[in-house]
């Protein structure tokens, strides 16, 4: 049997994990003096409420190899094939932990896929892999198709600040300093290498929304796949982007909230879109 494994950066709800019969490895969050398990001991809204009230900067830690090993051992015992679609290696050591666990398990039917992406970009890949598995496609071909698709999954987002990316070590201090200028709203993407790239810096949220939409228009979307709008905490910016999308003939499949693993690095009031380009 082919099974899909994702980490909590994929931002699936636990209900969806169970419905799809996915395996799930959570990422840990430290906020102040408290440690949380993303998606299990801390839901999305709780995370942002604590983040905004505490003033502390959250820290994320990759799963240990042991967290993967127990699942890998079970797969080996059951002779299942595991397709692990994980947070970008440019953003986390999650893939490395999984590779170590695979070596420890000594089982070849485990495929570690570096998504080179995050959040519901991973959801698009995992849902696609799941649909192919239901068609009884061989695991090797599913992996090849997911590897091809991942280069086309696209994210454009507007942030309220670059502070979180800088403190989390995902951007240089000089880049963040630019974003701290009065009312400057950065527009970002996830690069083909799986890291965060700054596309522009806008004066005010309205210009940021316009800039995000411009990037969407310049990138032809593949209608065979969903188009998701995304937000962290606070939906006003997301709603304004959705309005612009619908006015211009785009069909929004679903609005999805970004969870703690990625939200820790982009902060509240972020908004954006994820889709597959042609």
| pLDDT band for position 178 (cuts 50, 70, 90) | low
Picking from 116, 150, 184, the residue at the C-terminal end of a domain is: 150
Contacts of 6 (CB under 8 A, 6+ apart): 12, 17, 22, 23, 24, 25, 84, 85, 86, 122, 126
Tell me, yes or no, whether 185 lies in a domain: yes
107 compared with 167, residue with greater pLDDT: 107
| pLDDT band for position 163 (cuts 50, 70, 90) | confident
Say whether both 244 and 168 belong to one domain: yes
Place of tokens 């994929």: 10
Say whether both 175 and 224 belong to one domain: yes
What's the CA gap between 262 and 181, in Å, rounded? 23
Range of the domain at 252: 153-276
- Say if residue 171's pLDDT is above 80: no
Say whether both 178 and 263 belong to one domain: yes
Say whether both 123 and 255 belong to one domain: no
What's the CA gap between 126 and 100, in Å, rounded? 22
Rounded mean pLDDT, 123-135 = 98
Say whether both 97 and 10 belong to one domain: yes
- Say if residue 227's pLDDT is above 90: yes
- CATH number reported for the structural domain that contains residue 259 in this entry: 3.30.1180.10
Say whether both 8 and 92 belong to one domain: yes
CB atoms inside a 10 Å sphere around CB 236: 11
Say whether both 131 and 197 belong to one domain: no
Tell me, yes or no, whether 45 lies in a domain: no
Say whether both 185 and 257 belong to one domain: yes
Say whether both 159 and 206 belong to one domain: yes
Tell me, yes or no, whether 167 lies in a domain: yes
- Say if residue 145's pLDDT is above 80: yes
Tell me, yes or no, whether 41 lies in a domain: no
- CATH number reported for the structural domain that contains residue 79 in this entry: 3.40.50.10440
- The pTM of this model reads 0.93
Picking from 150, 185, 202, the residue at the C-terminal end of a domain is: 150
The number of domains in the chain is: 2
Say whether both 140 and 258 belong to one domain: no
Say whether both 130 and 161 belong to one domain: no
Say whether both 10 and 66 belong to one domain: yes
> In 3-state terms, what secondary structure has residue 179?
helix
Considering the chain, what is the average pLDDT of its residues? 93
**Among 5, 2, 9, 3, CA closest to 190:** 9
Look at 9-18, 65-74, 196-205 and tell me which has the smallest mean pLDDT. Answer: 196-205
Tell me, yes or no, whether 35 lies in a domain: no
Picking from 104, 126, 150, the residue at the C-terminal end of a domain is: 150
Tell me, yes or no, whether 48 lies in a domain: no
């Amino acid at each position: 049997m082919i099974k899909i494994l994702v980490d909590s950066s994929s931002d699936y709800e636990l209900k969806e994990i169970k419905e799809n019969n996915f395996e799930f490895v959570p990422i840990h969050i430290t906020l102040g003096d408290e440690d949380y398990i993303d998606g299990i001991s801390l839901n999305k809204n709780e995370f942002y409420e604590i983040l905004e009230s505490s003033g502390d900067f959250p820290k994320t830690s990759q799963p240990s190899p042991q967290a993967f090993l127990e699942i890998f051992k079970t797969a080996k015992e059951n002779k299942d094939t595991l397709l692990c679609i994980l947070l970008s290696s440019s953003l986390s050591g999650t893939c490395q932990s999984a590779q170590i666990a695979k070596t420890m398990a000594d089982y070849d039917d485990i495929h570690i896929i570096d998504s080179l992406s995050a959040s519901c970009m991973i959801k698009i890949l995992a849902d696609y892999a799941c649909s192919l598995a239901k068609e009884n496609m061989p695991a090797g071909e599913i992996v090849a198709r997911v590897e091809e698709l991942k280069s086309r999954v696209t994210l454009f987002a507007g942030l309220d600040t670059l502070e979180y990316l800088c403190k989390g070590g995902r951007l240089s201090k000089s880049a963040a300093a630019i974003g701290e200028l009065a009312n400057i709203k950065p527009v970002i993407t996830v690069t083909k290498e799986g890291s965060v790239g700054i596309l522009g810096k806008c004066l005010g949220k309205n210009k940021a929304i316009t800039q995000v939409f411009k990037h969407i228009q310049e990138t032809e979307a593949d209608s065979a796949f969903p188009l998701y709008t995304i937000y962290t905490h606070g939906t006003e910016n997301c709603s304004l982007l959705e309005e612009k999308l619908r006015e211009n003939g785009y069909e929004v499949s679903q609005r999805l909230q970004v969870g703690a693993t990625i939200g820790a690095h982009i902060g509240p009031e972020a908004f954006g879109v994820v889709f597959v380009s042609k």
